[in-house]
Amino acid sequence: MLRRRQAVLDRDLPYLVAELEGYIVGFCYASQFRPREGYRFTVEDSIYVRPDCVGHGVGKMLLAELISECQAKGCHSMVACICGVNVSSVALHASLGFQQVGLLPEAGYKFGEWLRLLIMQRSLQ
């Protein structure tokens, strides 16, 4: 986690943390979408909200701020890669203007099963 956070900060991209009464309830960050130079203006978001805090607006607050900070840094678009069937993540991203642009069946393997990868994208212009 520390190396991942440092890689985000080394690229001058935002890494946000939501805290409530001294406890971390969620985090969100933007990372390089692909390593090749042509993709340098596209970022991928990652978001995590503590399970007992889902549905209280933490994710929306984090992702909205992440979008704003990436826009200020001149990023062109943001991609969300959502593994498996994650209705709340899809709804969160859709509520902030992301649209489904791709679906890769059986793209990942986790917990003994093949998982799809839903790709959503939002312009930052």
What is the pLDDT tens value at each position of the chain, 125 positions in all? 889 898 999 999 999 999 999 999 999 999 999 999 999 999 999 999 999 999 999 999 999 999 999 999 999 999 999 999 999 999 999 999 999 999 999 999 999 999 999 999 999 99
This prediction's pTM: 0.93
The number of domains in the chain is 1
CATH of the domain at 54: 3.40.630.30
Range of the domain at 18: 2-123
Long-range CB pairs of 33-40 (<8 Å, 24+ gap) are 33/79
Q: What pLDDT, on the 0 to 100 scale, is given for residue 20?
A: 92
Read off the tokens for 71. 């826009």
